[in-house]
Amino acid sequence: MTDTVQDNQVKTINFDGVQYTIEDLTPRTADGFNSLVRVQQEINEIAYQLKVKQAAQLQFSSDLKIYLKEDKVKGVEIEQEKSD
């Protein structure tokens, strides 16, 4: 969805390859466009938050590897059950 802006005011909206004039929209379709824009903004925010959380996860994992090594915590081997 893209907008055509003239004089700092949106005149048309391009949705699904079709251009629509703002003044021709019904209240229901205008609300639909507003809802779509809001959901897209929320998705963008969630995507940003996911990137932040993934970066934190990588840092925590890296720090933990260092702590385990520095504190000389040894891993243990777990015996696999034999299946006959």
**φ, ψ (nearest 5 deg) of residue 14:** -100, 120
Kind and range of the H or E element at 10? strand 9-15
* Predicted structure pTM score: 0.69
- The yes-or-no verdict on residue 84 having pLDDT over 70 is no
Q: Where are the domains of the chain?
A: 2-70
Token pair 């019904």 is found at 26
- Within 10 angstroms of residue 22's Cβ, the number of other Cβ atoms is 14
Q: Can you give the pLDDT at residue 81?
A: 80
pLDDT tens-place string over residues 9-37: 889 999 999 999 999 999 999 999 999 99
Confidence of residue 6 (pLDDT cuts 50, 70, 90): low
Write down the number of H helices and E strands in the chain: 1, 3
Q: CB–CB of 38/30 below 8 Å?
A: no
